[in-house]
Copies of this chain bind each other. A is one copy, B any other.
Amino acid sequence: MSDHQDAGVRLEPALGRPRSADATEAVLAAALALAYEGGVHHATAARISERSGVAKTTIYRRWPNAAAVVMDAFLDEITPLIRYRRRADVRATFIAAIKELARALRGPRGDLLRHLLGVAQTDLELQKAFWDQWISPRRVQAKEVIAEAKTLGQLRADLDEDVLIDTLFGAVYYRLMIPYAEVSGPYIEALVDQVLAGASGPRI
A residues lining the B interface (CB < 8 Å): 39-41, 114-115, 117-122, 127, 130-131, 135-136, 149-150, 153-157, 159-160, 162-164, 166-175, 177-181, 187, 190-191, 194-202
Q: Are B122 and A121 in contact (CB under 8 A)?
A: no
Given contacts A121-B115, A135-B178, contact A200 B200 (CB under 8 A): no
Chain B nearest CB, measured from A203 CB (Å): 10
Q: Cβ of A196: which chain B residues have Cβ within 8 Å of it? A: 198-200
- Chain B: which residue is nearest A123 at the CB level? B118
Query: Which DSSP category, helix, strand, loop or mixed, fits chain A's interface?
Result: helix
- Whole-angstrom distance between the alpha carbons of A170 and B196 in the complex? 16
- Whole-angstrom distance between the alpha carbons of A87 and B60 in the complex? 55
Q: Are B117 and A163 in contact (CB under 8 A)?
A: no
Q: Are A172 and B170 in contact (CB under 8 A)?
A: yes
- Whole-angstrom distance between the alpha carbons of A171 and B160 in the complex? 13
- Whole-angstrom distance between the alpha carbons of A171 and B174 in the complex? 8
Q: Are A178 and B130 in contact (CB under 8 A)?
A: yes
Residue in B156, B160, B170, B177 whose CB lies within 8 Å of A167: B170
- 27 pairs across A/B with beta carbons < 8 Å? A40-B122, A41-B122, A114-B121, A118-B121, A121-B177, A135-B178, A149-B201, A150-B201, A154-B200, A156-B201, A156-B202, A162-B181, A163-B171, A163-B187, A163-B191, A167-B167, A167-B170, A167-B171, A170-B170, A170-B173, A170-B175, A173-B174, A173-B177, A173-B178, A195-B195, A196-B198, A198-B198
